[in-house]
Amino acid sequence: MEHITKQKNGVAMALAGGETGESRGDFPLPTGPGIESIRQHYLRPIAPGNFGTRSKYWIAGLLVVMAWGLYAYIHQLQMGLEATAMRNYVSWGLYIATFVFIIGISHSGTLVSAILRVTNQEWRRPITRSAELLTAVALMFGGLMPIIDMGRPDRVLNLIFYGRIQSPLLWDVLCVTTYFTGSVMFLYLPMIPDIALAKKRFATTGSKFRLWVYDKLSMGWQGTPEQWRRLERAMRVMTVMIIPIAVSVHTVISYIFAMTLRAGWDSTVFGPYFVVGALYSGSAGVILVMAAFRKIYHLEEFITPRHFDLMGKIVLSLTMIYAYFNLNEYWIPAYKMASGEAPLLHSLFSGNLSTLFWTLQFGTVLIPIIILATPRGRRPTLSVIACIIIVVGAWVKRYAIVIPVLEHPFLPMQHAPQSWTHYFPNWVEFSVVGGMLAGIFLVLTLFSKFFPISSIWEVEEGVHRSEHSAHDHSSGQSHLAANGKDTNHKHIPAVEEAFAQ
């Protein structure tokens, strides 16, 4: 028992990007049994018959919320947008604010997976799939929000058939569709070896449907050297491609606002402002997802406090950059105080929206910076608290970007009802958005019940690389650079052999 515990600790240290070789102290690097321990931990949650009572209640609750959201949307279709709180003054409400927020969360996969792959950060291995999954699911549901916002969703194809290439709305459709397609491929490609492993492990215990799905998705994977080379080549191409696509998506979404002449949106910094805001909230979302999976599936020895510390540093850096953009976005217009922007700025700084505005600035930007600035604040519990504040604040911030501007037009409507000049979502909008969020949680839950939530082969590869680096270090041939990155880009044959068994 003591031997197994030492092996698990050795795996944890390797995955956390710790030192290799003799400096590991009392914990030897794992060999055969250590690799088997990794597989058992990651395959146990997806074993047939893994739906316990709590899981069934959780899924049933999500289905109820989704059903209520569907009922509210059907009511909206029958009554038109009059069923919502949106009117001629505020024609974009909670739906569009949620769309911008969810697409921002989708940047998590780009940040954690693609960028960390490009920079060859070894500690990324246990958390990349969670990030890639969050990206794909967020795009899947977030992309529906503009359609839900339409009074006649049956006319959405007119945007494609008769759309004008000069319109940022058409650019948005093209970018989001491309990003969703690329993100699904980016999630799926590294899953192929793990799906083949699951198919083999559950060949006698899995249902026919489960094995059929595994068989189709594994695409005849045998773990041959040629298949590994093709997989890695495809991953390199997708890693390089997905980063500029992701940046273009949120840049184009910002153009929908910035290319208008409305006070509060007419800004040249909206592109980078939206991208940084998306990375800021998306990276916080990754910490919340990996913390949830770590707790639910008992992966503490694989997703370690060091992962939270490193991700916390990334979130801290992005939060500080986001604070800088926030300052520029409001300080420069406030200094000039142009007559067209003055009513909006007064409303934000000292009017009816001032409590919301200053809470966002100090509560969701300054407080996370204070928490994450210290090593203690980057421990799992406090990191999760800081990231909850960031994610909730990012959603409210999108609301504050969309709604106040629409409430302060350049030319107020003549004889408009007083109720039109103010907006707050009603039960229909809250219900539809709640159903959408339940759908996101449902897909995340079902995915974690059928597919490994970490890339098993990449985790094993990291352990093997640590093992080989330790051996090379002892003979003066270390492949680790001074910054801790692995400069040996060749695939480890031991991993090929393990999956070919």
Residues found in the chain: 501
Q: pTM to 2 decimals? A: 0.83
236 vs 486 pLDDT, higher one = 236
433 vs 458 pLDDT, higher one = 433
| Gap between the Cα atoms of 146 and 96, Å rounded | 6
pLDDT(180) > 90:
yes
> HSE on the CB side for 18, CA within 13 Å?
24
pLDDT(493) > 50:
no
pLDDT at 473: 54
- Asked which of 116-125, 164-173, 480-489 is least confident by mean pLDDT, the reply is 480-489
- Containing 102, the helix (H) or strand (E) segment is helix 94-105
Domain boundaries, the chain: 2-408+427-500
pLDDT at 363: 87
Q: What is the percent of the chain with per-residue pLDDT over 90, rounded to a whole number?
A: 47
Q: Dihedral of the CA atoms 390, 395, 397, 403 (nearest 10)?
A: -170
| Gap between the Cα atoms of 15 and 24, Å rounded | 13
> Residues 300-323: what's their mean pLDDT?
92
pLDDT at 109: 72
CA separation, residue 336 to residues 247, 324, 342, 345, 420 (Å): 30, 18, 9, 11, 29
What average pLDDT is seen over the chain? 83
CA 93 remoteness from chain centre: 23
CA separation, residue 132 to residues 109, 121, 365, 426 (Å): 4, 16, 25, 33
Q: Which sign, positive or negative, has the C-alpha torsion 419, 424, 428, 432?
A: positive
pLDDT at 20: 35
Do residues 289 and 134 touch, judged by C-beta distance below 8 A? yes
pLDDT(248) > 60:
yes
| Gap between the Cα atoms of 22 and 5, Å rounded | 18
pLDDT(334) > 50:
yes
pLDDT at 450: 92
> Residues 66-89: what's their mean pLDDT?
93
Question: Of the spans 14-23, 123-132, 463-472, which averages the highest pLDDT?
Answer: 123-132
Per-residue pLDDT reduced to its tens digit, 265-292: 988 889 999 999 999 999 999 999 999 9
pLDDT at 27: 28
Instruction: Read off the amino acid at residue 470.
Output: A
Nearest to 361 by CA among 306, 416, 323: 323
Per-residue pLDDT reduced to its tens digit, 354-376: 999 999 988 889 999 999 999 99
> Residues 114-126: what's their mean pLDDT?
85
pLDDT at 37: 79
2-408+427-500: CATH homologous superfamily? Answer: Formate dehydrogenase/DMSO reductase domain (1.20.1630.10)
Name residues whose C-beta falls within 8 Å of residue 496's C-beta, 6 or more positions apart in sequence.
223, 224, 225, 228
3-state secondary structure (DSSP) of residue 164: coil
| Gap between the Cα atoms of 121 and 486, Å rounded | 8
The position carrying tokens 């928490």 is: 371
- Asked which of 22-31, 75-84, 349-358 is least confident by mean pLDDT, the reply is 22-31
Nearest to 94 by CA among 438, 423, 437, 440: 423
> Residues 201-211: what's their mean pLDDT?
89
pLDDT(494) > 60:
no
| Gap between the Cα atoms of 126 and 110, Å rounded | 15
The position carrying tokens 């270390």 is: 478
- Asked which of 238-242, 266-270, 353-357, 406-410 is least confident by mean pLDDT, the reply is 406-410
CA separation, residue 313 to residues 185, 291, 369, 371, 393 (Å): 28, 16, 10, 11, 19
| Confidence bin at 492 (pLDDT 50/70/90) | very low
pLDDT at 189: 93
pLDDT(25) > 80:
no
For the chain, the farthest-separated pair of C-alpha atoms sits apart, in whole angstroms, at 84
